[in-house]
Amino acid sequence: MIRFKLINKVKWSKIILMHTTVQNLINIQNEIKSNIKELNKNNYQPKIIAVSKTFKMNHIYPLIEYGHLHYGENKVQEAIEKWSELKLDKKNLSLHMLGKLQTNKVKNAVKIFDYIHSVDNLKLAKKIKVEQEKYNKNIKIFIQINLANEEQKSGIKKKDLNSFYKECLSLNLNVIGLMCLPPETINPIKFFEELYNLNKKLNLTELSMGMSADYIDALKFNSTFLRIGSKIFGERT
C-alpha cells in the first residue's frame, strides 16, 4: 500500500486535490450535480462507485484520502490482495463486486465485499446465503438482468425476474435493487427506463446502472449507484 508522508494538513490537502483521479472525480461530481439541478431532482443523491479493477493502489489511495467511500472490483482474488488490509484500517469503505461471480469464489467474496451486483442464478444465491451466515454478514444484493438477451452477458431473463426475486427473499437475502449492462451499440435509455420500471414494480429502492459512457442518461431514471471507471482512472492498458 502506498502511503503519503504528511507535512501538514494544508499541504496534504493540496497534494490530494492535485491528483488526477481526484480531479476527475470532482469533475464528475460537479457534472452530476448540474444535471440533477436541470432535472429538478433536488433530493436525489446517487453514489459513485469508483471502478478500480486492474488499477494499483497508487491510483486509488488519493481518492480514499479525499474521502470517497465506494469502490468496485470484478475479480475476487484481486479484491482480496488490494483491499483486505485497507478495509481493516478504514471500516467505512464499501467494496462492490461488479463482475460475474462463480460459486467457488463466493466464500472469499463474502469475506471482502459489502455489495454484490451480479446475482443471477439460484445456485449462486444459495451459496451466498450459506457463506454469509458463516461470517455473520448481510451482503447487499443486486439482481442482474440481461434485458437485451445478449448471449455473451450474464443476467437472468426479464420473464424470470419475479420468481427469482421471490426465491432470493425465501433465502433471506438482502436484495436492494436491480442491475443491468445495456448493449454497447444501442442507446441505453430504453434499458434504463425498463430497469427503473421493473425496480419500481418490486418496490426496491436501489438501482445499479450507468457507467463512464452513459451515467448522465442513467440519472434520468434515478440510478442510485453509478459504476464509473475510465472517467476517473483513465483507460485500462
- pLDDT for 7-47, tens place per residue? 455 444 555 656 899 999 999 999 999 999 999 998 999 99
Q: In angstroms, how far is the first alpha carbon of the chain from the final one?
A: 21
In the chain, where the domains are located = 9-233
The pLDDT tens digits for 146-205 are: 998 888 889 999 999 999 999 999 999 999 999 999 998 899 999 999 999 999 999 999
Give me the amino acid identity at 213.
Answer: A
Closest CA to 222 of 85, 65, 80, 36: 36
Instruction: Give the C-alpha separation, 176 to 159, whole Å.
Output: 19
The mean pLDDT of 215-234, rounded to a whole number, is 97
Instruction: Give the C-alpha separation, 155 to 145, whole Å.
Output: 4
Domain 9-233 fold: TIM Barrel (3.20.20)
Where helices occur in the chain by DSSP H, the ranges are 9-18, 20-39, 57-66, 76-89, 106-112, 122-134, 161-170, 189-201, 215-219, 230-233
Q: Indicate whether 5 pLDDT > 90.
A: no
Poorest-confidence range of 95-104, 182-191, 223-232?
182-191
**pTM, 2 dp:** 0.92
